[in-house]
Structure 1
Amino acid sequence: MTDLSVFYKLDADIAWEPTDPGVKRKVMAYNDQLMIVKVAFETGAVGTLHAHRHLQLSYIESGSFEVEIAGHKKVLRTGDVFSVPSQAIHGVVCKAEGVLIDVFNPMREDFLPR
């Protein structure tokens, strides 16, 4: 018998959760060490500058974003990736409607339903 506990729901089965104006997210899968989250932005929406203890990698699935990490800014587009060190102040401004795929280590407990 196959252990299906390593497979997760399809994207269509997971509801979007609004976060900030023009921003919504879906927690796609997680365990104690990793979490993967899909975040959709409308053009002009802002991922406010913030910091957290987690390591973060973000893949730009679609769109264009001005990404700021530790005071450095760069415009990134579909297919680009950025890395956020633990405790680095970072955020984004969506230049063209798009989606980020964020991976966190360890998982973000604050993203789980209460």
Structure 2
Amino acid sequence: MPFVNFNTKKVVKIWDGIYGTLAHSEQQTFGHFTIDGGTILPEHSHVHEQWCHVLEGELEFTVAGETMLLTQGMTAYIPSNAPHSAVAHKKCKVIDCFTPARLDFVELEKNAEQ
């Protein structure tokens, strides 16, 4: 699977107000997500290392108590098990990368309607 067309993949709801398309390798999960304006992602953590890159919009991101307003071209790095949360001040388009692969997202994708 050297190439992925995210335009033809099924859209998966990750959280209320957060949805998009996913691809997985043995080691990573890569997602193209839309976050609706006003969406609040409550504080949580997971074993996965995560990178969240903002393509469009404004996303206030908090990682381990440090907060920054991310805009186009900015990225948040979330270490494994670090508590993090976010608030979308405007509708956002982001790319998220998780290591290791998110098996919970694999299941969400399997159960999502086409």
For the aligned pair, the TM-score class normalised by the smaller chain equals 0.7 to 0.9
Unaligned runs of 5+ in 2: none
**Residues 19 and 35 of structure 1: is their aligned pair in 2 closer, same or farther, counting only changes over 3 Å?**
closer
Q: TM-score scaled to structure 1, two decimals?
A: 0.87
Answer with 1 or 2: which has the greater Rg.
1
Unaligned runs of 5+ in 1: none
Partner of residue 7, structure 2: 12
Q: TM-score scaled to structure 2, two decimals?
A: 0.87
- Work out whether 1:22 is the aligned partner of 2:17: yes
Identity %: 25
Q: How many residues align?
A: 108
- Work out whether 1:96 is the aligned partner of 2:90: yes
In 2: Cα distance, 1:85 partner to 1:47 partner: 17
Give CA deviations for 1:54-101 in whole Å, capped at 9, x if unaligned.
111111011001001011111110110110000000111001111111
In 2: Cα distance, 1:19 partner to 1:108 partner: 12
Greater per-residue strand proportion: 1
Give the aligned CA root-mean-square deviation in angstroms: 1.3
Ranges of 4+ aligned residues in structure 1 off by more than 4 Å: none
